[in-house]
Amino acid sequence: METPIRCQFCSHLPGSAFHGLNNDALEEISHMKTCVSFRKGQVIMHEGARPQGVYCVHRGKIKLYTLGTEGKEQIIRFVTKGDLIGYRSILSDEPISASATALEDTHACYIPKSSFFKVIEDNPKFSLNLLQLSCHELGEAGKMITSLAQKSVKERLAEILLILRTTFGEDEEGYLDISLTREEIANMVGTATESVIRLISELRKDGFIDSKGKRIKVNDGSALREIASVFE
Amino acid sequence: MNLNTIKNRLQQILPFEASALILEEIALQSSYIPFNGVGEHLFRKGDSALGFYWILSGEAEIIIPGKRSIRLKAGEMAGLDSFIEDDPISFDIISSSAILDCLFIDRRCYNRMREHSEFNRQMNHMVMSCLRNYRGLLIPEEKVYS
């Protein structure tokens, strides 16, 4: 699938920060952006750098993470179709707070900083969308801090499996539509890889999940919600 | 800029023939940042030096109040001294050409580069170059012989 040249025809527009913009504004963005692709494993942005534009993901999956003092990753969240990365750093004129690496071959649209600010100035709706997005991410970050501080490793693992299912959905066989190593899951949970391996095995024995290689299937979402102390 | 272009640019700024494998690794593990316009900040004074910029093309400038600025050209590195010392960035570093293409190298990528002897030598050369630049500022301009 090729990245569309014009934003108004992008299938991810309704779920993106650009929704609600009129055709003229979208046409203008289409002229200012460039389409870029990243290979699986390629770093897109580094914590500490000052990005000069934002990426709007068209296809692929990206992990956002920070590196601890000993080089251990803490995965903060995942980014997928229609999501923006780099915008908070540009708005705050601060170095970016997390690195971004493509988990699979990824296509994205790059909007340079000056053009991004022009879209903000010309379109109050876009400013509002960004404000809502920032507030949402702030809320999610708050939840994550609480989870890391108060929940046990098993609770956090169950919660993360549910988050992965909501974020990426399932493939035709019912497995999570994202392939993560046990180390990456551990980096998201904030624990050792060995603990994650042991807990995944426990959840599998209990029949709550299934796993085949790197792939994981959630069999019993309500049981995981109960373990994670998540109530809907 | 796609991976192949980054690899080609890297080979152009290196004083030695690097293997395709190493160039690929650096291109994958670094992040490409294009600066458009003069005066864009690569670093502001006080930023954490979690990495440094390696200039692929264009020019950057280290702004030292009350002194001559230090110009950095393609192949040179911005913020390397603070990164190695694990200190905050000492001076503002800005783009000084209309187009400046850089790679941002973080600790992980830097460590991988250091594992290759040619890159290790090149890094040492860059550190010496940083020192020379700063030492040059201590000498009054009228006493510099060309």
Digit-coded pLDDT (tens) for A79-132: 988 999 999 999 999 999 999 999 999 999 999 999 999 999 999 999 999 999
The pLDDT assigned to B126 comes to 87
- Interface A-B, measured as beta-carbon pairs within 8 A, has a size of 68
**Residue B8 domain-assigned (yes or no):** no
**Residue B119 domain-assigned (yes or no):** no
* Domain hosting residue B78, numbered range: 32-106
Give the residue numbers in B contacting A (CB under 8 Å), as ranges.
1-3, 27-31, 33-37, 40-43, 47-51, 53, 104, 106-109
**Residue B66 domain-assigned (yes or no):** yes
**Residue B59 domain-assigned (yes or no):** yes
A42 and B104 within 8 Å at the Cβ level: the answer is no
Q: What amino acid is encoded at B41 in this protein?
A: H
Sign of the dihedral defined by the CA atoms of residues B51, B52, B56, B58, in that order: positive
Low-confidence ranges of chain B (pLDDT < 50): none
Domains in chain A, please, with CATH?
7-148 (2.60.120.10), 151-228 (1.10.10.10)
Is residue A54's pLDDT more than 90?
A: yes
The pLDDT assigned to B144 comes to 55
How far is the alpha carbon of A57 from chain B, nearest alpha carbon, in Å?
16
The pLDDT assigned to B109 comes to 92
CA proximity to A193, closest of A219, A210, A201 = A201
Partner residue opposite A43 with nearest CB, options B28, B40, B48: B28
Which residue of A42, A63, A107, A117 is the best one to mutate when testing the B interface, meaning the one whose CB has the most B CBs within 10 A? A42
**Residue B87 domain-assigned (yes or no):** yes
**Residue B78 domain-assigned (yes or no):** yes
How far is the alpha carbon of B146 from chain A, nearest alpha carbon, in Å?
36
Q: What is the ipTM of this complex?
A: 0.85
**Residue B101 domain-assigned (yes or no):** yes
Partner residue opposite A49 with nearest CB, options B1, B28, B33: B33
**Residue B81 domain-assigned (yes or no):** yes
* Domain count along chain B: 1
The pLDDT assigned to B67 comes to 80
Residue A1 pLDDT level (bands cut at 50, 70, 90): very low
